[in-house]
Amino acid sequence: MRDPIIGIDLGTTNSVVATVEEGRPRVIPSRVGGRLTPSVVGFTPNTTERVVGAPAQALAKEHPDCVVWATKRFIGRRFTPELVQAARSVVPYPLLGGTTGDVRVKMAGRTVPVTQVAAMILGELKLDAEAYFGREVRRCVITVPANFDDGQRQATREAAAIAGLDVLRLINEPTAAALAYGLSRGFQGHALVFDLGGGTFDVTVLEVTDGVYEVKATGGDSALGGEDFDLKIVDWLLSQIDEPLRESVHRDVVSQHKLKVAAEQAKRELSEYEETLISLAGLGDQSQSARKLTGLETVLTRSFFDQLCEPLSERCLEVCRAVMKDAGMAPSAVDTVLLVGGMTRVPLIRQLVTDFFGKAPSTEVNPDEAVALGAAIQADELARQSGAALLLDVVSNSLGVGVLGGKVRRLIPRNRSVPVVAREIFHPGRHGQTEARIPVYQGESDLQDENRKLGEVVLRNLQAGSRGDTSLEVTFELSNEGLLAVRAVDLQSGLSEEVRMEARPHLPVREADRLVKEQAAYAQKQAQQDARKSEDKFRKLLERGEKLARLLQHSAEENPGEEAQAAVANVRSLLESGHSALQAQDAEQCAHVARQLTQLLAGR
């Protein structure tokens, strides 16, 4: 039997893991039940026990200072005062800087790298998959937003390594969603993926022809998502609190969490109803012994919510206009619009898409699961190498180097097909230099200050001479998953060397090794607990299977026939195999029987 392989959507709000069985992609349920795992991580206040997903969400109700969420917005980013300032308007927990410039978060009195938070979520999804298959799972494909830069992609791979996963490939989320849609429905034509998740927004146009998925253009906003729509409601609720107490409510972590939960719940309810009642109590500074608390009760209508979010809606439209321009297409030329991400369930967004493209979006794809299913399809394709699907992606943001005068010289333009190699000759900034530092930027502006600095290419031991006589050839090589490799050659001496991106944040080697060991120890302990729970669940499942067999036997006696007898024989065979596997302590066979029995009991 082939080793299991999975696809993972590591989301800002929720994460999903999926696989392909019998040619069909399926979501793997979590061990606590449900198909989505909240991307929430915490530590219990007294025992400092790790909690991930739904248990962490529950912990946040009583101890919001022990929990973090939406950390995907900070993974692979460099710690800067500007990032800290921007984060204050999005999340209540503090950001801190690591020794290499990486971003860290504080919860339950502990400082944790954002990369480790991602690893904890990935590790939980890995455990879910191992419980599902009854054996170790290592190989995977992970999706990332199309506008993730090199540092963010490298950090995602680093998190996967800590979690004990081997990443076969990173693929862009919109491409994965289109893959899930196209292969399952035989679609051909131009598809636009409108991906508005919890923390990022991507728009991608693809041409699908005979199993080839060619990205024509992609764009997005890495600081726009469902969290921002929630914050519009939070700000509106804060404005209704009396001035003397407003600031204390704004500063209080417990109060802020209550407002955030209420805002998200209101947004969900407005997807079904025209208005919703918001009622909150116990708002104020919880840290003071003689605290003065207040409450809030108000009604939010769908039409007013739409008005509150108008600036965010316009940002969505700006991205759509830019992508259609880059693709050289009119909005009406798109054959189908696929909605991805939980925010696309909101009527405001669906109406915005309908108005802009002149057609209602497709509702055939589950917006919460499409990306993970596409990742699973790609993972299965990479394992089998059947040639059923070929992905041709593009560069989501231009890449260039900083030159004199604060300008940027573009080497790889946006929407260029990947993989791609670009070379450029540079000269030192002054005579007699023995070291050259070449800054690398991502973005569309001609000015360095208006782009994101990814790092610096450092070339040392140059032969000192006149500026014009020293020629440095810098090569950018961008892989098909958006990872950047840089190489420099001193053409005068003929010497070449691989150079490092010194400004790219990463974890120190010793710390990364320690986190790998910590995760492995946690996973081993958790797997032992899961094994005991799985055995109990399997025994109960076999009991339900016995009842089903008796019902089918009774039905076959009343209505004899080959089909009825075959159904009985099938269940009896599964039960026999299940009891044998249980006796032999064969976890993989138990899991195999459990999957088949569960489908039979569900009537599938």
> Residue 293: which CATH number?
3.90.640.10
| Residue at 120 is within a domain | yes
Give the residue from 288, 310, 332 where a domain finishes. 310
The answer, yes or no, to whether residue 541 has pLDDT greater than 60, is yes
| Residue at 230 is within a domain | yes
Taking residues 135-145, report their average pLDDT. Answer: 95
Taking residues 242-260, report their average pLDDT. Answer: 87
User: Where are the strands (E) in 188-302, listed by range?
Assistant: 189-196, 201-209, 212-221, 275-283, 294-301
> Which range is least confidently modeled, 56-65, 74-83, 450-459?
450-459
Residues 6+ apart with CB under 8 A from 301: 270, 274, 275
Average pLDDT taken over every residue of the chain: 88
Give the residue from 463, 498, 533 where a domain finishes. 498
- Considering the domain architecture, whether residues 407 and 461 belong to the same structural domain is answered as yes
- Considering the domain architecture, whether residues 36 and 108 belong to the same structural domain is answered as yes
CA 335 vs. chain centroid, Å, equals 27
Give me the pLDDT at residue 523, please.
93
**Count helices and strands in the chain by DSSP H and E runs:** 15, 27
- Considering the domain architecture, whether residues 220 and 197 belong to the same structural domain is answered as yes
Give me the pLDDT at residue 188, please.
87
Give me the pLDDT at residue 182, please.
77
Interatomic CA distance for residues 198 and 219, integer angstroms: 17
Question: How large a percentage of the chain has pLDDT more than 90?
Answer: 53
Give me the pLDDT at residue 239, please.
93
Interatomic CA distance for residues 91 and 227, integer angstroms: 9
| Residue at 515 is within a domain | no
Taking residues 36-55, report their average pLDDT. Answer: 92
Give me the pLDDT at residue 545, please.
84
Quick count: other Cβ atoms within 10 Å of Cβ 487?
17
Give me the pLDDT at residue 502, please.
53
- Considering the domain architecture, whether residues 239 and 160 belong to the same structural domain is answered as no
Q: CATH number, domain at 448?
A: 2.60.34.10
- Considering the domain architecture, whether residues 45 and 166 belong to the same structural domain is answered as yes
- Considering the domain architecture, whether residues 334 and 194 belong to the same structural domain is answered as yes
Tell me the pLDDT band of 466, cut-offs 50, 70 and 90. low
Domain total of the chain: 4
Is the bond into 419 cis (omega within 30 degrees of 0)? yes
Give the residue from 361, 392, 423 where a domain finishes. 392
Interatomic CA distance for residues 61 and 56, integer angstroms: 9
Largest CA distance in the chain: 99
Question: How large a percentage of the chain has pLDDT more than 70?
Answer: 94
Give pTM, 2 decimals.
Answer: 0.86
- Considering the domain architecture, whether residues 156 and 16 belong to the same structural domain is answered as yes
Tell me the pLDDT band of 431, cut-offs 50, 70 and 90. low
- Considering the domain architecture, whether residues 537 and 567 belong to the same structural domain is answered as yes
| Residue at 514 is within a domain | no
- Considering the domain architecture, whether residues 67 and 41 belong to the same structural domain is answered as yes
List, for residues 366-409, the tens digit of each pLDDT value: 899 999 999 999 999 998 886 667 888 888 889 999 888 899 99
| Residue at 280 is within a domain | yes
Give me the pLDDT at residue 300, please.
96
Q: Compare 481 and 271 and report the one with higher pLDDT.
A: 271
Interatomic CA distance for residues 296 and 236, integer angstroms: 12
Tell me the pLDDT band of 603, cut-offs 50, 70 and 90. low
Tell me the pLDDT band of 30, cut-offs 50, 70 and 90. very high
| Residue at 512 is within a domain | no
List, for residues 480-512, the tens digit of each pLDDT value: 888 888 887 878 776 666 655 555 678 888 999
Catalytic residue numbers read: 9, 72, 173, 195
Give me the pLDDT at residue 393, please.
86
- Considering the domain architecture, whether residues 372 and 407 belong to the same structural domain is answered as no
- Considering the domain architecture, whether residues 334 and 422 belong to the same structural domain is answered as no
| Residue at 293 is within a domain | yes
Tell me the pLDDT band of 280, cut-offs 50, 70 and 90. very high
Provide the residue range defining the domain that includes 270. 226-310
Give me the pLDDT at residue 158, please.
95
- Considering the domain architecture, whether residues 132 and 75 belong to the same structural domain is answered as yes
Give me the pLDDT at residue 497, please.
62
| Residue at 513 is within a domain | no
| Measured torsion, CA atoms of residues 281, 282, 285, 288, in degrees rounded to the nearest 10 | 160
